[in-house]
C-alpha cells in the first residue's frame, strides 16, 4: 500500500473501531506486550522467501490483533484489502480475545504470475467487500465450483472426487480419485508370490467449508474400498483460489489395518486426461534436479534419421502444435506412422538421493531407461496443445519412496498419478520391529527400559491408528507449459509461496506468551543469539547429513547422539526418534516467530505435519494420545498427551489458518476422558494412591498438555465451556495444600478438577518442559484466577531456590529437581511478574551455570569427521542433544524477553563478557 493510501486508511472512519484503545490485562502481563501495549499502525505482508515468486497459486495466512482493537461487525463480514492494485482477498475471523474482540483474522490471497505480484509484498488495510472469481453452487448430486474460466464438478458420492474439470468449455481433466494397493505380506520374506488388491476412494461425506469469492474449500471424507472391504479412512480438502489455474489438495489418511497382514504397496491420487491432439502434439514433462525439466513428445520428431525441418523440431521442443504437415519434409511426413508412440512414463524417487526416469510404448512392453538424477521437485505434465494436466507432490524427495506416472498417453484417455507411496518400491512395513521379544512381564519391561530407555510392551507398539497428510497441486491448463513455466510450477510445488508477517508485527499483539524479535544489540544478547543460531543451523545440517527423510519420518528429528559411532542413536530404544520430547516443536516455532527465517518456517512446518499425525493416534484404544520417543515412531508403550499436545500445533494453525491442523487440535478436546486407558504409571502402581473414580494426572505433562487444546477451542469458537474447564483445573490446583508443589493429583475429566489433599510436596523436572510454562504465560493474561497465579509464581520462584528457602516454605527439600539451567526461565518469569531485580539476577546465574555459552565446550565445537570412520563425511557437534537444545533454546528466548534489562550485568558477573 502506498504511503498516501496508508495515511488515508488511518484517517478513515472505518479505521476508528479498528484502532480502539487497548484494555488492561488480567492479573499478569507477558513480556511481549509489557504493561502498556499499543495498537498496531500498519500490517505489512512480505514474502516468506524474501522475494516475489515467478508464479503464485494463492495462499492463506493468519494475522493477530492486539486485544480490544478489532471487533467483528454486526454484519459478521470482515472487509480487508491489499490496496487498489493488490490481489483480491477474502477474510474471516479465526480467534477471539476474552473480551470478544478479534485476536486472529484469516486472509485468503488470490494467485497471480510474474509481473502481477508485488516484489516487496503488500500492506493490509480495511477496504471494500471482497472481490473474486470463485463461486460454489451446491446441487442435489454434485457441487459446481467455478474459478475464472475453470469449472470443476465434484460429486457427492461414488469413487471420484472430481468428475470433470472444464477449461474454456473443454473437458481437460476427469475422474480424479484416490488409489491404494494392499499387499498381503512382505515380498522379500516370501518364497512364493504376494498378492495385491487395488482400492479406490469411496465417498461418505462431502462438505463445502468455504464458497468464495477468493477461496473455496470442499472437504471429502471416506474410505478406500475394493468393493468388499473398506480400509484406510481419508479426508481430502480441495482449495480453489481466484487467479490460479490449479487446485491445492491436502490428502490425509489413517492407517487402520493389521500391520502383520495389511501392507500398503501404493497410495496415490490419479486423474484422467483426455488426449485429443495428434500424438506428435502430445507432451509429457517432469521436473528434474533444481530448475531442470525433462520434456518429450509422445511421438517425437526430433533425432530422426530424416530432418522434418527447423520449425517442426522447435515447435515440438517448445510444447506447441506442429505447423501444418504439408510443409514438413516429405520423407518424414510419409514416415510419421512408423515412429513409435510412447504411452507410459514413470519418474520414481525411491530414495532421497536418486530418481530414475523410464518410458515404454504400452503395458506388456519393456521399459526403456531415459535418464536419472538426484532430487526431483515432484511435478509431471501430460497433455497437448489443446490442454493438459500438471500434478505435483510437495516434499517429494524428502518423503521417498514416491513416484509420478503417466499412463496411456498414446490413447484417447491418459492417466496421471502422484504416488505418495511408490508401487515400484518395497511395500510399506509398519510391523513392530521387536515383536514379543520375551518381555512379557512388567519387571522385564522395566529392566529393558533401564538399559535401552524404551518402554516396550507387546500390543502397545502398533501403528494402527496413526495418520499422515500429503499436499499436492493439480493444474488444469490450456496447453503444454514451456520448460520455464513448468520449472516455475515445480518450485511452487516444492516451496509454495507464502505471504507472512514480520516478527515485529506479530510481537506487537501480545500473542504466544514471552518472546521477542531477534536483538543482538548488546554484547550478551549477541552471545546468546549466536548460540541460538548455531544450534538451529546444526539441526538443519543434521537432517541432511543423517537423512532424516522418508514417508513416516520426514519432519521428526532424533533424540540423542552417539559420538562413538558418529551417529544418532536411531536403534537404541527411547534414544531414537524425538517425537516432540521436551517441546522441540515449540523451540522451532518460537525461533521462527523471532527471526522470520524461511528455512525455520519450513522445518517447523514439516515437524508440525509429522508430530501431529504420525506420533499421535487418531482411532483405536490410544486415540488422542501420542507415543513417547522410540526406534519406531509408535514403538514405545507410553502413550501420553504430552506428545499429542495441541500447543505444538497451535502456533502453526494461527499463522496459516490450516484446516487440517485445526482438525487435529479438535480431536483432542475430550481425550482426557480416556486417561484411564493409557495410565502411564500402570507399571508402577501404588496401592490406594487415588480414588477409583479418578486417574492420577501430573500438572505439567498431562494437564498442562490438555489445556492447550481447550485454550485453542475457546479462542476459535468463543465457547466458554473450555475456558471454564481450564479455570476449574487452575482453582483446584490452587486449593491443594501444596498447590503446584503437589506435582499431580487425582483428576476428574467430567469437571476438569483435581481432587485429594495434595499434602505431599514434590518436584518434577518434567512438569515444566512440555509447554505448560508457555501456556501459563498466556493463560494468566486471559483469565483472572488470583489463587492460581499465586501458586504458580510461588512454584516458579522456588523450583531453583536455595535449599534453606525451600525448607522454609515446604519443611523439606523434595526430590525431583533437575535441569536447573533451563528451568531457570521459571525464576525469570517470577522475577518479571514480581518486579524483583535480585530474583532476575538469580535467574541469570541459574541459566549461566551450564556450559552452553562457554567457548570450547563440546556444545560449541563442530568438527569434520570423514574417511572410513563414517558412511559419509559429517560435521559433528558431539555434545548435541535434542532435549538440551530445545529446552535451552526455549529458556534463552524467554529469558531475553523477560530479563533483558539485567542480562549484560549478569553476563559480566558470570565471566561471559570481557
pLDDT at 858 over 80: no
pLDDT at 588 over 80: yes
pLDDT at 846 over 50: yes
Q: Percent of the chain at pLDDT above 90?
A: 86
Region of poorest pLDDT, from 75-79, 308-312, 882-886, 905-909: 75-79
C-alpha radius of gyration, the chain, whole number: 29
pLDDT at 83 over 70: yes
Task: Please report the pLDDT score of residue 17 as a whole number.
Answer: 30
Alpha-carbon distance of 832 to 815, in angstroms, equals: 27
pLDDT band at 914 (very low <50, low <70, confident <90, very high): confident
- Residue-wise pLDDT for 695-735, tens only, equals 999 999 999 999 999 999 999 999 999 999 999 999 999 99
* Average pLDDT over every residue of 668-694: 76
How large is the angle between the packed helices 882-899 and 824-834, nearest 10 degrees?
A: 10
pLDDT band at 38 (very low <50, low <70, confident <90, very high): low
In the structure grid, which three cell numbers stand for residue 660, read together?
Answer: 487440517
pLDDT at 18 over 80: no
Alpha-carbon distance of 756 to 693, in angstroms, equals: 12
Task: Please report the pLDDT score of residue 388 as a whole number.
Answer: 98
Q: Return the H-helix or E-strand segment holding 416.
A: strand 413-421
Task: Please report the pLDDT score of residue 802 as a whole number.
Answer: 96
pLDDT at 686 over 70: no
- Residue-wise pLDDT for 792-836, tens only, equals 999 999 999 999 999 999 999 998 899 999 999 999 999 999 999
CA-based max dimension of the chain = 103
Task: Please report the pLDDT score of residue 687 as a whole number.
Answer: 42
Q: Percent of the chain at pLDDT above 70?
A: 95
- Residue-wise pLDDT for 124-167, tens only, equals 998 887 889 999 999 999 999 999 999 999 999 999 999 999 99
* Average pLDDT over every residue of 188-202: 89
Mean pLDDT, the chain, whole residue set: 93
From residue 645, how far is each of 250, 627, 650, 712, 758 by CA, in Å?
A: 22, 11, 9, 11, 25
Alpha-carbon distance of 393 to 472, in angstroms, equals: 4
Task: Please report the pLDDT score of residue 544 as a whole number.
Answer: 98
* Average pLDDT over every residue of 92-99: 98
Task: Please report the pLDDT score of residue 37 as a whole number.
Answer: 53
| Three-state secondary structure of 456-518 | CCCCCCCCCCCEEEEEEEEEEECCCCCHHHHHHHHHHHHCCCCEEECHHHHHCCCCCCCCCCC
- Residue-wise pLDDT for 275-293, tens only, equals 999 999 999 999 999 999 9
Give φ, ψ of 212 to 5 degrees. Answer: 105, -175
Alpha-carbon distance of 729 to 725, in angstroms, equals: 6
pLDDT at 350 over 80: yes
From residue 201, how far is each of 181, 265, 341, 663 by CA, in Å?
A: 12, 16, 31, 21
Task: Please report the pLDDT score of residue 267 as a whole number.
Answer: 98
Task: Please report the pLDDT score of residue 436 as a whole number.
Answer: 72
pLDDT band at 857 (very low <50, low <70, confident <90, very high): confident
pLDDT at 780 over 90: yes
pLDDT band at 33 (very low <50, low <70, confident <90, very high): low
Task: Please report the pLDDT score of residue 14 as a whole number.
Answer: 30
What global pTM score does this model have? 0.95
Task: Please report the pLDDT score of residue 848 as a whole number.
Answer: 97
pLDDT band at 19 (very low <50, low <70, confident <90, very high): very low
Task: Please report the pLDDT score of residue 114 as a whole number.
Answer: 58
Task: Please report the pLDDT score of residue 34 as a whole number.
Answer: 54
Task: Please report the pLDDT score of residue 685 as a whole number.
Answer: 60
Amino acid at each position: 500500500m502506498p504511503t498516501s493510501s496508508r495515511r488515508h486508511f488511518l484517517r478513515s472512519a472505518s479505521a476508528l473501531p479498528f484502532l480502539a484503545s487497548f484494555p488492561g490485562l488480567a492479573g499478569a502481563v507477558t513480556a511481549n506486550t509489557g504493561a502498556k501495549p499499543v495498537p498496531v499502525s500498519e500490517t505489512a505482508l512480505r514474502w516468506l522467501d524474501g522475494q516475489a515468486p515467478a508464479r503464485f497459486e494463492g495462499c492463506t495466512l493468519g494475522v493477530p490483533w492486539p486485544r480490544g482493537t478489532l471487533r467483528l461487525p454486526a454484519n459478521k463480514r470482515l472487509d480487508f484489502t491489499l490496496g487498489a492494485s493488490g490481489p483480491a482477498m477474502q477474510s474471516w475471523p479465526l480467534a477471539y480475545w476474552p473480551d470478544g474482540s478479534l485476536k486472529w483474522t484469516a486472509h485468503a490471497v488470490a494467485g497471480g504470475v510474474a509481473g502481477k505480484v508485488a516484489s516487496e509484498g503488500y500492506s493490509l488495510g480495511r477496504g471494500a467487500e471482497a472481490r473474486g472469481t470463485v463461486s460454489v453452487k451446491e446441487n442435489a448430486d454434485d457441487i459446481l465450483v467455478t474459478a475464472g474460466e475453470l469449472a470443476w464438478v465434484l460429486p457427492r458420492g461414488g469413487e471420484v472426487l472430481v468428475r470433470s474439470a472444464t477449461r474454456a468449455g473443454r473437458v481437460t481433466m476427469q475422474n480424479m480419485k484416490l488409489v491404494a494397493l494392499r499387499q498381503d505380506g512382505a515380498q522379500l520374506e516370501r518364497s512364493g508370490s504376494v498378492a495385491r488388491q487395488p482400492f479406490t476412494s469411496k465417498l461418505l461425506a462431502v462438505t463445502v467449508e468455504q464458497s468464495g469469492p477468493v477461496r473455496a474449500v470442499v472437504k471429502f471424507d471416506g474410505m478406500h474400498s475394493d468393493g468388499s472391504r473398506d480400509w484406510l479412512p481419508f479426508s481430502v480438502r480441495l482449495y480453489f483460489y481466484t487467479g490460479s489455474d490449479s487446485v491445492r489438495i491436502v490428502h490425509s489418511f489413517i492407517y487402520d489395518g493389521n500391520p502383520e497382514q495389511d501392507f500398503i504397496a501404493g497410495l496415490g491420487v490419479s486423474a484422467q486426461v483426455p488426449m485429443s491432439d495428434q500424438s506428435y502434439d502430445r507432451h509429457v514433462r517432469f521436473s528434474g534436479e533444481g530448475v531442470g525439466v525433462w520434456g518429450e513428445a509422445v511421438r517425437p520428431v526430433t533425432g530422426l534419421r530424416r530432418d522434418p525441418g527447423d520449425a517442426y523440431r522447435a515447435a515440438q521442443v517448445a510444447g506447441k502444435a506442429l505447423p501444418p504437415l504439408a510443409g514438413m519434409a516429405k520423407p518424414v511426413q510419409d514416415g510419421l506412422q512408423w515412429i513409435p508412440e510412447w504411452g507410459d512414463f514413470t519418474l520414481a524417487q525411491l530414495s532421497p538421493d536418486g530418481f530414475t526416469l523410464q518410458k515404454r510404448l504400452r503395458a506388456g512392453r519393456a521399459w526403456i531407461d531415459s535418464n536419472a538424477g538426484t532430487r526431483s521437485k515432484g511435478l509431471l505434465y501430460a497433455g497437448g496443445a489443446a490442454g493438459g494436466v500438471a500434478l505435483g507432490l510437495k516434499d517429494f524427495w524428502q518423503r521417498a519412496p514416491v513416484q509420478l506416472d503417466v499412463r496411456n498417453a498414446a490413447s484417447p484417455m491418459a492417466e496421471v498419478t502422484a504416488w505418495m507411496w511408490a508401487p515400484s518400491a518395497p511395500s510399506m512395513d509398519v510391523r513392530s520391529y521387536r515383536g514379543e521379544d520375551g518381555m512379557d512381564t512388567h519387571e522385564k519391561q522395566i529392566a529393558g527400559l533401564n538399559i535401552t530407555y524404551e518402554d516396550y510392551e507387546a500390543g502397545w507398539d502398533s501403528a494402527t491408528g496413526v495418520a499422515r497428510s500429503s499436499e499436492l497441486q493439480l493444474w488444469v491448463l490450456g496447453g503444454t507449459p514451456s520448460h520455464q513455466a513448468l520449472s516455475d510450477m515445480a518450485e511452487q510445488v516444492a516451496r509454495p509461496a507464502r505471504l507472512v508477517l514480520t516478527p515485529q508485527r506479530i510481537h506487537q499483539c501480545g500473542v504466544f506468551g514471552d518472546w521477542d524479535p531477534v536483538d543482538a544489540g548488546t554484547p550478551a544478547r549477541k552471545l546468546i543469539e549466536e548460540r541460538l543460531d548455531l544450534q538451529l543451523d546444526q539441526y538443519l545440517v543434521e537432517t541432511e547429513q543423517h537423512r532424516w527423510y522418508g514417508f513416516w519420518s520426514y519432519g521428526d528429528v532424533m533424540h540423542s547422539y552417539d559420538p562413538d559411532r558418529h551417529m544418532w542413536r536411531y536403534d537404541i530404544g527411547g534414544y531414537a526418534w524425538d517425537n516432540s520430547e521436551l517441546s522441540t516443536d515449540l523451540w522451532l516455532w518460537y525461533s521462527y516467530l523471532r527471526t522470520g527465517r524461511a528455512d525455520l518456517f519450513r522445518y517447523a512446518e514439516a515437524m508440525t505435519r509429522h508430530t501431529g499425525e504420525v506420533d499421535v493416534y487418531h482411532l483405536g484404544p490410544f486415540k488422542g494420545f501420542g507415543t513417547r520417543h522410540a526406534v519406531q515412531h509408535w514403538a514405545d508403550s507410553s502413550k501420553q498427551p504430552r506428545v499429542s499436545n495441541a500447543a505444538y500445533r497451535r502456533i502453526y494453525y494461527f499463522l496459516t489458518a490450516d484446516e487440517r491442523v485445526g482438525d487435529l487440535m479438535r480431536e483432542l478436546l475430550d481425550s482426557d476422558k480416556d486417561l484411564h486407558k493409557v495410565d502411564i504409571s500402570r507399571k508402577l502402581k501404588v496401592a490406594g494412591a487415588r480414588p477409583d473414580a479418578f486417574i492420577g494426572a501430573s500438572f505439567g505433562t498431562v494437564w498442562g498438555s490438555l489445556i492447550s487444546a481447550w485454550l485453542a477451542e475457546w479462542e476459535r469458537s468463543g465457547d466458554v465451556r473450555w475456558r471454564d474447564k481450564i479455570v476449574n483445573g487452575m482453582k483446584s490446583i490452587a486449593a491443594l495444600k501444596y498447590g503446584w508443589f503437589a506435582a499431580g493429583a487425582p483428576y476428574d475429566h467430567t469437571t476438569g478438577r483435581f481432587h485429594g489433599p495434595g499434602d505431599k510436596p514434590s518436584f518434577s523436572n518434567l512438569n515444566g518442559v512440555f509447554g505448560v510454562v508457555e501456556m501459563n504465560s498466556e493463560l494468566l493474561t486471559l483469565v483472572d484466577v488470583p489463587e492460581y497465579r499465586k501458586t504458580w509464581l510461588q512454584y516458579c520462584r522456588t523450583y531453583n531456590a536455595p535449599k534453606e528457602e525451600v525448607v522454609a516454605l515446604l519443611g523439606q527439600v523434595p526430590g525431583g529437581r533437575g535441569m536447573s539451567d533451563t528451568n531457570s526461565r521459571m525464576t525469570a518469569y517470577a522475577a518479571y511478574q514480581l518486579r524483583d531485580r535480585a530474583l532476575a539476577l538469580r535467574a541469570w546465574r541459574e541459566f549461566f551455570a551450564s556450559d552452553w555459552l562457554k567457548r570450547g565446550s563440546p556444545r560449541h565445537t563442530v568438527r569434520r569427521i570423514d574417511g572410513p570412520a563414517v558412511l559419509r563425511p559429517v560435521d559433528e557437534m558431539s555434545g548435541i542433544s535434542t532435549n538440551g537444545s530445545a529446552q535451552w533454546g526455549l529458556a534463552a528466548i524467554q529469558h531475553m524477553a523477560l530479563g533483558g534489562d539485567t542480562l549484560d550485568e549478569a553476563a559480566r558477573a558470570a565471566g561471559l563478557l570481557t
